Structure 1
Amino acid sequence: MEFIIDTVDLEEIKDAVEHMPIVGVTSNPSIVKRTSPENFFDHMRAIRSIIGKERSLHVQVISKDCETIVKEAHRILQEIDDQVYVKVPVSYEGIKAIKLLKAEGIHVTATAVYDLMQAYMALAAGADYIAPYVNRIGNLGSDPMELINELSSRIVMDGYKTKIVAASFKGVQQVRDSFNYGAHAITAPVDVLKTIFKNPSIEKAVDDFNSDWYAMYGEGTGICDL
C-alpha cells in the first residue's frame, strides 16, 4: 500500500513527507500550472532534493506523438535523474511510446486511464504503474472500482509486477475504496489526505486523555516534566 501526493508545491511536499508515510510525488501539466514555477526543471530537481531517491517522482510528457514523447522522456531523465517515472497518457501514440521506453529500461507510469482495455494495453506494454482516474471515470457514468478490481485480478492472474496507482480524487471515501478494491497505490492532493485526520472524535479522544492525565498530575505537567 503506497500513499503518493499529487502536487508540485514545495511547502506542501515538505509538510506531507514530514507528517505522513508518503512514498512519492506525481505531477501533470495542470498541477504544474497551479504553482507555475519559473524554471520547470529547477523546480523538479528541488522536489527530488526534498523527497530523496528513496521516494518516486513521476513527471508527465506533454506531446501527443510517439517520437516527441520519447524525446521529452529523455530530456526529463537528463535534466532530473534516471530514476524518474515518466508519465505517458495511454493513447494510441502513447502506448507505442510506452513500449519503446520500457525497451530502454525507463520507468513508466501509464496515465489518463478511463477504460479497462486501456489499462490492459498498458499492462501488456510493461508499464510500471497504471493510473486510472477514479473521480473522472465515475463522472462519466462508469464504475472506477470495477476497473481497479478487474485490473488487480489480471495482474495477479498473469503475474505482472505492475502496480495500480489510483488517481483523481475528491474525497477520502474514494481513496479508501480504491485500496479496498485492489489498488497498490493512490496519488491524491495533500488536502484530501489531511481530511483523514479532521474527524472531531480524534481531537475529543485526545482532549479526554489529557484531561484525565492533568487531573492526576496537575495542569500543564507533561510526561517529560515528571
Structure 2
Amino acid sequence: MTLYLDSADRDALAPLLATGLFAGVTTNPLLLARAGLTSADLPALHDWAVAHGARTVFLQTLGTDVDQIVREGENLRALSERVVVKVPATRAGLTATRRLADSGVPLLVTAVYRASQALLAQAAGAQYIAPYLGRMTAAGRSGYEEILAMRRILTETTLEILVASIKDVEAVIALAAAGVPSFTVGPELAAKLLDDDLSNAAAQEFEAIALAGS
C-alpha cells in the first residue's frame, strides 16, 4: 500500500514528509487556495516538496479547453520527472489525457465519481485514477461500492486506484483490506494514522521501566 499527503500547506506537510512514510504529495486548486497559493506557485511548491522527500508530486491542470489542458500538462511535467499530471474526468480532460499519454506524460485522472469512469481513464492511457470517496458518499452514491467496482474492472490492468476525499481511518482500513493499493490523506487524517493512544502509552511505559532499571 502507498500513502500520499493531500495538501499544499508546507507547515503541515513538512513533519509528515520527514517521517519517510508518505510517498509524495497530491494537490489541486482547492488545496492551493486553502494554503494561500495559486497555480503560479506550483513550481515553487514542487521544488519544496521534492527537497523535503516527496518522491512523486501530483500537480493539477486547469482549463476547459483540450489544447489548454494539454499545454498546462506539458508545462507541469517539464518541472521534473517526479511530476504526475492530474486531469479532471471531464470529456475535455479525458481527451487531453489521451493526447498527453501519447507523448509520454504520466497522468492521474481525478474527480472520479463512478466506476464507469475507470474504463475511460484506462482508455485514455492514465497511470492513476482518483475516486473521491467522501464526495461520492455525500452525493448519495455508495463510494465504497463504486471503488470496489473500479478495483474489479481494473484487475487485469496497470491503472492504479488512488483514493482521495477520505474522512476517517476506518475507510482507509476497509478499502486497503479489500485490496485497494493507494490513498491520499489530509494532514489531520495522516496524524491519526500515525498516532495511537495505546501504542504511545505502551512506549512511555517501556521507557519508564528502562529508566527505573538504569
TM norm. shorter chain > 0.5: yes
Cα distance in structure 2, aligned partners of 1:64 and 1:188: 27
Q: Gaps spanning 5+ residues in structure 1: where?
A: 218-226
8 Å contact kept, 2:7–2:186: yes
Contact 1:108–1:128, Cα closer than 8 Å, also in 2: yes
Structure 2 unmatched ranges of 5 or more: none
Which piece of structure 1 moves more, 122-131 or 40-49? 40-49
Q: 1:49 to 1:208 in 2, by over 3 A?
A: closer
Where does residue 189 of structure 2 map in the other structure?
Answer: 192
Question: Does the alignment pair 1:42 with 2:44?
Answer: yes
**1:97-143 per-position Cα deviation (integer Å, ceiling 9, x unaligned):** 11111111100000000011112211222210100001011111222
Residue identity (%): 26
TM-score (normalizing by structure 1): 0.87
- CA gap 1:62/1:204 in 2 versus in 1, 3 angstroms: same
Aligned to 1:84: 83
Structure label with greater radius of gyration: 1
Distance 2:101 2:118 in 1: 16
1:11-52 superposed Cα distances (whole Å, 9 cap, x missing partner): 333211212411111000010112224751223222223235
Partner of 1:203 in structure 2?
A: 200
Q: What root-mean-square deviation, in Å, do the aligned CA atoms of Structure 1 and Structure 2 show? A: 1.7
Matches within 5 A, 1:1-226: 1-37=1-37, 39-40=40-41, 41-51=43-53, 55-78=55-78, 80-156=79-155, 159-217=156-214
* CA displacement 1:62-84 (0-9 Å, x = unmatched): 11121110011112123x22441
Matching residue's letter, 2:98: K
